[in-house]
């Protein structure tokens, strides 16, 4: 009897130790996931430099979510280059030009906007603020610009449309392997009044994002528009979600999306002039030059570095939208002088949202409006069309850079 009690006690002790080890490991690996809290701030924000928003917003975003938002692929060399590339060219100050209060209004695909900057589609704004994409959409609408909504948004397409209250919105489609789901999503976007479909083609597979791997980041919230998962994406990594989407893309996919809708189809994620050509032949109504904010192929050039070549090939056949690294007026100016019609911002919108809700998003756009206007004034350009005729001064490209 005594022996049995001792054996039982040892078994119980071993079981207890194993249980404790499992609990400890779960806790260590998942601390971020369970501690997810989004900001509910609702205020204008004071901005001196948009770059500073990242640090300020960090206080209100959980660690894993912050890594997902801030991060790029691998060692983030392309992410860093997206910022520094703008320094490769200069803007000549121009004087005695008679310029007064430059007009920053423009239009894209028939839609008038108050500045040549729109919201880039980005997954899961709900990581940053309780109002999620609905908050960003209200901020964009109040700012007089276009809201782009990702398939991986954390608000439903209907919630975003309602928050925009008639303001122009574009829907960004990640193709599903399920044709019926694709058709339903595009039809829903059309029915809700979205004005264009953005087909993102640079993510057939997720980039190798070291921060997400280190943080073991999994979405702590639902992404209600993701078709195959029925929106139930809690506990899934971005790579799992990408893997469920269509991951072999060809020009026929552009033709396929064109066949689904009468809306303009914008092909997003173009970095090579040949790919711009292919997309246009396949029916693209606009080209979106982007390296996904440095989140996909690390070792790729900065998006700004390839913009001029892509614009030359496009040769004004269709409009060009540009993103990846836009943070101030001079970046917007340089991108337009280099061939973009409008630019888009991803992370700054999310940081503005975290820091002030929809009012914070408005603060980001207000800052860019003032900053762009100042740059235009100092560079002697009265309106956006005039920027398109500006010759930038090339520091490096004019002496023909050799391969590294």
Ligand X SMILES: Cc1cc2nc3c(=O)[nH]c(=O)nc-3n(C[C@H](O)[C@H](O)[C@H](O)COP(=O)(O)O)c2cc1C
> Which sequence positions are flagged as catalytic?
292
Q: What residues does 268 pair with on adjacent strands?
A: 200, 288
Q: Please list, in sequence order, all residues whose beta carbon lies within 8 angstroms of the beta carbon of residue 218, skipping any fewer than 6 positions away.
A: 33, 64, 234, 235, 236, 237
Q: Does 150 bind ligand X (CB under 6 A)?
A: yes
Q: Does 325 bind ligand X (CB under 6 A)?
A: yes
Question: Which CB, 102 or 219, lies closer to ligand X?
Answer: 219
* Separation between Cα atoms, residue 377 and residue 168, nearest integer Å: 28
- The answer to whether the CB of 111 falls within 8 A of the CB of 195 is yes
Which residue among 122, 161, 244, 337 contacts ligand X (CB under 6 A)? Answer: 122
Show contacts with ligand X in window 285-304 (CB under 6 A). Answer: 290, 292-293, 295
Question: Which CB, 41 or 81, lies closer to ligand X?
Answer: 81
Q: Does 324 bind ligand X (CB under 6 A)?
A: yes
**Cβ at position 275, least distance to ligand X in Å:** 15
CA dihedral 335, 339, 342, 348 (to 10 degrees): -20
Burial class from Cβ neighbours inside 10 Å (0-12, 13-18, 19+) for residue 59 reads exposed
The length of the chain, given as a count of residues: 404
Q: Which stretch binds ligand X (CB under 6 A): 103-111, 114-122, 184-192, 271-279?
A: 114-122
**Cβ at position 383, least distance to ligand X in Å:** 24
Q: Does 200 bind ligand X (CB under 6 A)?
A: yes
Per-residue exposure over 278-303, b if at least 16 CB sit within 10 Å of its own CB, e if not: bbbebbbbbbbbbbbbbbbbbebbbb
Radius of gyration of the chain (CA): 23
- Ranges of beta strands (E only) in 103-256 are 106-108, 111-113, 117-119, 147-150, 169-173, 196-200
Question: Which CB, 225 or 381, lies closer to ligand X?
Answer: 225
Residue nearest to ligand X (CB): 346
Question: Which CB, 79 or 167, lies closer to ligand X?
Answer: 79
Q: Does 331 bind ligand X (CB under 6 A)?
A: no
Copy the structure tokens of residue 23: 């609990």
Show contacts with ligand X in window 158-177 (CB under 6 A). Answer: 172
Q: Does 69 bind ligand X (CB under 6 A)?
A: yes
Show contacts with ligand X in window 17-46 (CB under 6 A). Answer: none
**Cβ at position 333, least distance to ligand X in Å:** 16
Residue whose token pair is 């999306």: 257
Given CA atoms 387, 389, 392, 393 in this order, what sign does their dihedral have? Answer: negative
Question: Which CB, 167 or 335, lies closer to ligand X?
Answer: 335
Q: Which residues bind ligand X (CB under 6 A)?
A: 68-69, 82, 120-123, 150, 152, 172, 200, 268, 290, 292-293, 295, 323-326, 345-347
């Amino acid at each position: 009897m005594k022996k049995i009690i001792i054996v039982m006690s040892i078994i119980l002790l071993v079981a207890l130790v194993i249980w404790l080890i499992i609990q400890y490991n779960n806790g260590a690996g998942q601390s971020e996931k369970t501690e997810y809290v989004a900001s509910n701030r609702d205020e204008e924000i004071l901005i001196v430099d948009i770059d500073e928003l990242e640090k300020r917003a960090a206080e209100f975003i959980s660690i894993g979510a912050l890594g997902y938002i801030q991060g790029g692929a691998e060692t983030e060399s392309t992410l860093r280059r997206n910022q520094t590339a703008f320094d490769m060219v200069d803007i000549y100050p121009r004087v005695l030009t008679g310029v007064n209060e430059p007009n920053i209004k423009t239009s894209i695909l028939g839609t008038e906007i108050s500045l040549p900057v729109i919201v880039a589609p980005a997954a899961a704004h709900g990581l940053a603020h309780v109002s999620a994409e609905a908050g960003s959409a209200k901020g964009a609408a109040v700012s007089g610009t276009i809201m782009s909504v990702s398939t991986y948004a954390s608000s439903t397409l209907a919630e975003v449309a309602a928050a925009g209250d008639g303001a122009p919105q574009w829907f960004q489609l990640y193709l599903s392997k399920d044709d019926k789901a694709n058709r339903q999503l595009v039809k829903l976007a059309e029915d809700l009044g979205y004005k264009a479909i953005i087909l993102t083609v640079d993510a057939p597979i997720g980039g190798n994002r070291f921060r997400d791997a280190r943080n073991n980041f999994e979405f702590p919230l639902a992404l209600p528009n993701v078709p195959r998962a029925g929106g139930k994406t809690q506990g899934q990594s971005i790579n799992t979600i990408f893997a469920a989407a269509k991951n072999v893309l060809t020009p026929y996919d552009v033709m396929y999306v064109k066949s689904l809708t009468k809306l303009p189809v914008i092909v997003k994620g173009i970095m090579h002039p040949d790919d711009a050509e292919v997309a246009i032949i396949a029916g693209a109504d606009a080209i979106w030059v982007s390296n996904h904010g440095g989140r996909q192929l690390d070792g790729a050039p900065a998006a700004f570095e390839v913009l001029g070549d892509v614009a030359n090939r496009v040769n004004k056949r269709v409009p060009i939208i540009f993103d990846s690294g836009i943070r101030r007026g001079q970046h917007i100016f340089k991108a337009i002088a280099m061939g973009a019609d409008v630019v888009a911002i991803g992370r700054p919108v999310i940081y503005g949202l975290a820091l002030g809700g929809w009012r914070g998003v408005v603060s980001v756009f207000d800052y860019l409006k003032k900053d762009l206007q100042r740059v235009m004034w100092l560079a002697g350009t009265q309106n956006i069309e005039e920027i398109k005729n500006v010759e930038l001064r090339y520091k490096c490209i004019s002496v023909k850079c050799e391969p590294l």
